[in-house]
Copies of this chain bind each other. A is one copy, B any other.
Amino acid sequence: SSKLKDNVIKHVKNVQKIGKDDPRRIIHSLKVGFALTLVSMLYYVRPLYNSFGVTSMWAILTVVVVFEFSVGGTLSKSINRGFATLVAGSLGVGAVHFARFFGHKGEPIVLGILLFLLAAAATFSRFFPKIKQRYDYGALIFILTFSMVAISGYRTDEILVMAYQRLSTILIGGTICIIVSIFVCPVWAGEDLHKMIANNINKLANYLEGFEGEYFPLPKKINSCAPEYKTILTSKSTEDTLANLARWEPGHGRFGLRHPWKQYLEIAGLVRQCAFRFEILNGYVLSDLKAPQDFISKIQEPCSVMSIEAENLRVALKSYSPETEKDLLEIIPGVTMASILIEIVNCVEKISGAVKE
């Protein structure tokens, strides 16, 4: 039973850690609960229920599916969903009216063929990189709404009423999501992207700074654990997603409506290039093959100067604001250059080590 207790304690600590790592996660969970309770009023309050009836189910479905962590995610999904429902709904109503020309026997066949063709075409369109990036969810909802309207149109005569109710409940659900997402402790994807990249540059500076202590170990210094820059190596997909969502967001704080998010990706690419070099460099630092002592002491001086330069770089970054973005782009090649220089120094050491053997 003490084993069970240990397990429970471990799990509780794990939960606490996830919450502590980013407290916005807890707030987001509460926001989802709040939005759902809000939309459930459509059922619980009699006058609202009388006007919407069972279709208010669609409002609940919309809230659950559309509410995302960031404002950009919520906006992108709501707009995609609303717009796709509108277009597919109109097309579906048109298809049903068109199919009725073919008599009661021909109607399901014509509708089936139309459904097959449109579903296949819309599914194929989801493979286009541009559509996949921004309108993937819209294409999905397009297929969904069109099939529903076209198929149920065969059995009910009230498709116009149905389509209208569906669209209006989706609009209610989407609006609740957008309002809660923007006005209750908003999480901006753009700000996250900004912080992530600034943080990545910081990690590079950290490594450069720590480099002297790592390679020329002084008795008072303790070696650090796994270097921070490693996460930069594979962060491309996260950055792309954030930049994508940031484009959906309205202006907020320091960021205007058409903030140049693409430039952030350029900076991120340069930072990653630099991290690649660190990765190689780190291999040499960790290897047992060290250069002769007299050679090491010869290069310690320039390396030390470089570490101080890294500290200066960090100070420059701290005062970094969107206005100095261009400067940042100019700084990066310097950092890269510096890292290549170290790389060269290390290569020379490696070679002299090999020659000695």
Contact = CB atoms under 8 A, between A and B. Distances in A.
A155 B29 contact: no
B43 A152 contact: yes
Interface stretch (A231-239, A300-308, A312-320): A231-239
A344 B347 contact: yes
A300 B129 CA distance: 42
A350 B340 CA distance: 11
Interface in A68-90: none
Nearest to A284: B340
A151 interface: yes
B154 A44 contact: yes
A97 interface: no
Contact of A351 (B65, B121, B273, B344): B344
Contact of A123 (B33, B44, B127, B283): B33
Interface stretch (A141-149, A186-194, A195-203, A255-263): A141-149
Interface of A: 14, 18-19, 25-26, 28-30, 32-34, 36-37, 40, 43-44, 49, 54, 57, 60-61, 64-65, 108, 111-112, 115-117, 119-121, 123-124, 127-128, 140, 143-144, 147-148, 151-152, 154-155, 233-234, 236-237, 273, 276-277, 279-280, 283, 340, 343-344, 347-348, 350-351, 354
Given A36-B119, A120-B30, A276-B280, A151 B350 contact: no
Contact of A151 (B32, B60, B121, B277): B60
Contact of A44 (B19, B108, B144): B108
Contacts of A128: 14, 18
25 contacts: A18-B127, A18-B128, A19-B124, A29-B119, A29-B121, A29-B123, A30-B120, A32-B120, A33-B116, A33-B120, A34-B116, A36-B116, A37-B112, A40-B111, A40-B112, A44-B112, A57-B148, A57-B151, A60-B148, A61-B148, A64-B140, A64-B147, A234-B237, A344-B350, A344-B351
A18 B273 CA distance: 30
Contacts of A60: 144, 147-148, 151
Which of A19, A64, A347, A348 has the most B CB atoms < 10 Å from its CB? A64
Contacts of A117: 33
A237 B14 CA distance: 24
Given A43-B155, A112-B37, A123 B28 contact: yes
B351 A120 contact: no
A33 B115 contact: yes
